[in-house]
Amino acid sequence: MKLSDISGLIGGQISPASFRASNAESFTERRSLLGANRRGQVVPVRVDEDKDFELTARGLAALCSLLINWALDVLELAYIADALQLAYRVTYSDAGVRDFLDELTDPEVNGPFTVARAEAIVREISRRA
């Protein structure tokens, strides 16, 4: 998964369908490794740091909106969040953005991320703006 593709997805230059297709192998691998009865499984996250990227509150709201609109699923969103967290070339506009991003990752640790929670994050970000 390329940072430039994540940036394009968030900015609307890449459609969710194209993003999903270009990352299908990674998503399929993750689904198989996180299948039934595989708690605690180590799952690789591959990220190509092909650009510097700053995740803003607006960008995080765009990611949440992809789930709200069923353009991406929870697993795909979690993979993106993991990739952003692991990349050295990613910065955050403020600590709140990083805190919200943490919620999108590992459901074993943070509990399942839901559409309702995504909507709450978007509302909170809108209130802060």
Residue 111 above 90 pLDDT? no
DSSP 117: H
Residue 109 above 80 pLDDT? no
With bands split at pLDDT 50, 70 and 90, how would you rate the model's confidence at 40? low
For residue 47, the SS3 value is coil
Domain limits for position 69: 3-128
Which comes out higher in pLDDT, residue 32 or 100?
100
Total domains present in the chain? 1
Q: Which two tokens stand for residue 66?
A: 């992809």
In this prediction the pTM is 0.91
Of the chain, the percentage scoring pLDDT greater than 70 comes to 93
Average pLDDT over residues 38-66: 90
Q: Which CA distances in Å does 26 have to 57, 70, 98?
A: 26, 19, 23
Q: What is the DSSP string of 76-94?
A: HHHHHHHHHHH-TTEEESS
Distance CA 128, CA 27 (A): 33
End-to-end CA distance of the chain: 30
pLDDT tens per residue across span 7-36: 999 999 999 999 999 999 999 988 888 765
Q: Exposed (0-12), middle (13-18) or buried (19+): which is 13, by Cβ within 10 Å?
A: exposed
